[in-house]
Amino acid sequence: MLEQGMKRMLLLASLCLLLIVAGSAMLYGELRYGDPLEKSAAIVNRVTAQASDIMVLLEDYADNAATLAPYGDQLGSMAKETGMRIKAAFLDGTLYFDSDMDAGTLLDGLLRGEEPLKLDIITESHYRLQHVGGGVYSVALPVVSSKTGIQTGNAVIYAPSELIKQWSPSGAHALPLWLIGCGLTGLIALLLFYARTIKIYILRPVMILRSHSEAILQGNYNESAVHNRDDEIGELYGVFDQMRTEIRYLHESRLRKDQAQKELITNISHDLKTPLAVARAYTELMRGEEAALSPSVKEYVEVMDVHTRKMSALIEDLMLHAMSELGQISVKPEEIYSRELFQLMAESAASFVIAHGIRFRPPSSVPDVLIRGDAVRLEQVIGNLIANAIKHTERGGTISMDIILDEGKLVTTVSDTGQGISPEDMPFLFHRYYQGSPAKGEDLVSGTGNGLGLSICKHIIEEHGGTISFRSEKNKGTAFTFTLPLSG
């Protein structure tokens, strides 16, 4: 329907343009190649009517100069009354009357045989209205003898343009102007009509479709796009709604798949914790009987203990991350005082850091304020940040911990003097499983982790109503800062 409408619009617009071009061409031709007054038969008729009495007199007595001589003065006065100049000449061009000259003198000269004045037959004897210059128009009328019915000469009437314009019909250039007017009116009406049509039937549906697109971008896949007209826009709406349905199906399938994967990870992590706990328990028992073990067996027990601990930590991180994704991680904040909680965390972190050959600078003071926090989860956050700092700090470096009050929030910062974070890794630092560029250096304490620690930290802090951020400079170190709101 829209395609047919556009074709009709183009056809009508072409017709309007054709009218405008035709009218413009006609008007240009009239203005460029001729005076429209010269082509007006109505004006010639009016001139003839004004000079009719003179023409009757000439036709009655203009067979020769002798018969017209007594009427010379009468012809002169009649011509003056018309406001026009009138010349009369025989067929050979001999002038026998001119209203601007004394008629008696002119006729007497002809009768005496004097050299006659001549009328230029070629240039002046035209039987149509023509512009002769000086704002004067002329037309020639045949003089036919009323006695013999034979043409005896011509009368040339000169009328000023003022009279001609008074007698000219009001419709000069009427046809070309009418064509141009019709074309312009039709074109404007067509543009207004189709502007309204485009707004109602194209732009408005497209804007509605745009709002549906924005809804899909925001994750709303249930809003159906409906168009009530059976046209090209309706077809577009149909295809768009099919796409929306397909996207919704794919989104729901992905959600189900992700849910299943998270539940699988949670279940596997939970199932692995029991045998690992048993293995760690037997390892602890064997370490308690070191005196009865040979040196080689002691070495094997130490290796077993290290790797079971690593495996337990990894499984714990995987389970925590999967539970956070499922919204099942247990964060139970309660009112506690910050000083005792964070001093214990700092003491535990100090022994862990020093054991890796790195200096530890504890907080100079810990504000004693009431916060709502889950002690176990906050200890996990500090532990993950300390472990992350150890992983990227060389032996002999320093890890610091600072705690202050700022704008009604408890602000905790864990910083190191390690290698810093690469700029390309910064946007993805809190993404799950993202480990960034591998750290380089012979004196680094440990290798890469599993990429879950910082993601878990972010989730726990946000569950407490706080925020976590970082700043880092290459080869100068990194500082992670998290905030906790005060209770009440």
**Domain CATH code at residue 373:** 3.30.565.10
Residue 462 shares a structural domain with residue 385: yes
Q: Which domain holds residue 277?
A: 273-325
- Amino acid at position 362, single letter: P
Residue 34 pLDDT > 60: no
Please tell me whether residue 6 adopts helix, strand or coil conformation. Answer: helix
Q: Has residue 20 been placed in a domain?
A: no
**What does the pLDDT average to over 346-368?**
91
CA–CA distance, 30 with 36 (Å, rounded to integer)? 6
Query: In sequence order, what are the residues at sequence separation of 6 or more whose Cβ sits closer than 8 angstroms to the Cβ of residue 462?
Result: 468
Average pLDDT over the chain, rounded to an integer = 80
**What per-residue confidence (pLDDT) applies to 35?**
52
Grade residue 93 by pLDDT with cuts at 50, 70 and 90: confident
Please tell me whether residue 1 adopts helix, strand or coil conformation. Answer: coil
Query: In sequence order, what are the residues at sequence separation of 6 or more whose Cβ sits closer than 8 angstroms to the Cβ of residue 124?
Result: 87, 132, 138, 140, 156
Grade residue 484 by pLDDT with cuts at 50, 70 and 90: very high
Residue 417 pLDDT > 90: yes
Residue 320 shares a structural domain with residue 348: no
Residue 321 shares a structural domain with residue 367: no
Residue 244 shares a structural domain with residue 315: no
Of the residues 113, 136, 167, the one at which a domain ends? 167
Q: Which two tokens stand for residue 39?
A: 């082509």
Q: Which of 36-45, 321-330, 379-388 has the highest mean pLDDT?
A: 379-388
Q: Which two tokens stand for residue 437?
A: 């560029």
More confident residue, 62 or 352: 352
Residue 36 pLDDT > 60: no
Q: Are 74 and 57 a contacting pair, CB within 8 Å?
A: yes
Residue 373 shares a structural domain with residue 459: yes
Q: Has residue 175 been placed in a domain?
A: no
Query: In sequence order, what are the residues at sequence separation of 6 or more whose Cβ sits closer than 8 angstroms to the Cβ of residue 10?
Result: none
Residue 468 shares a structural domain with residue 350: yes
CA–CA distance, 191 with 16 (Å, rounded to integer)? 11
Q: Which of 27-41, 251-265, 416-430 has the highest mean pLDDT?
A: 416-430
More confident residue, 211 or 69: 211
pTM of whole model > 0.75? Answer: no
- Over the stretch 116-135, which tens digit does the pLDDT of each residue have? 888 887 777 777 878 888 78
Residue 279 shares a structural domain with residue 374: no
CA–CA distance, 110 with 306 (Å, rounded to integer)? 151
Q: Has residue 3 been placed in a domain?
A: no
The 3 state secondary structure assigned to 225-242 is CCCCCCCHHHHHHHHHHH
Angle among Cα 176, 179, 184 to the nearest 5 degrees reads 125
Residue 348 shares a structural domain with residue 481: yes
Q: Has residue 255 been placed in a domain?
A: yes
Q: Cα separations (Å) of 390 from 308, 433, 457?
A: 20, 19, 16
**What does the pLDDT average to over 441-457?**
60
Helical ranges in 326-368 per DSSP H:
338-354
Grade residue 235 by pLDDT with cuts at 50, 70 and 90: confident
Question: Residue 379, class by beta-carbon neighbours within 10 Å (0-12 exposed, 13-18 middle, 19+ buried)?
Answer: middle
**What per-residue confidence (pLDDT) applies to 449?**
52
Measured from the Cβ of residue 98, the count of other Cβ atoms closer than 10 Å reads 20
- Tell me which of 160-169, 192-201, 415-424 is least confident: 160-169
Residue 360 shares a structural domain with residue 449: yes
The distance from CA 438 to its chain's CA centroid, rounded to whole angstroms, is 45
Residue 385 pLDDT > 60: yes
Task: Tell me the backbone φ, ψ of residue 406, rounded to 5 degrees.
Answer: -150, 115
Residue 296 shares a structural domain with residue 427: no
Domain count of the fold of the chain: 4
What phi-psi label fits residue 137: left (phi over 0), alpha (psi between -120 and 50 degrees) or beta? beta
- Over the stretch 213-230, which tens digit does the pLDDT of each residue have? 888 888 888 888 887 777
Angle among Cα 83, 86, 88 to the nearest 5 degrees reads 165
CA–CA distance, 402 with 414 (Å, rounded to integer)? 7
Q: Has residue 182 been placed in a domain?
A: no
Which residues on adjacent β-strands are paired with residue 477?
473
More confident residue, 329 or 411: 411
Measured from the Cβ of residue 16, the count of other Cβ atoms closer than 10 Å reads 20
Residue 301 pLDDT > 80: no
Residue 240 shares a structural domain with residue 300: no
Q: Has residue 142 been placed in a domain?
A: yes
- Over the stretch 59-79, which tens digit does the pLDDT of each residue have? 887 777 677 777 777 888 888
Of the residues 167, 182, 217, the one at which a domain ends? 167
Residue 262 shares a structural domain with residue 312: no
Helical ranges in 371-474 per DSSP H:
375-391, 453-463
What phi-psi label fits residue 173: left (phi over 0), alpha (psi between -120 and 50 degrees) or beta? left
Of the residues 270, 285, 307, the one at which a domain ends? 270
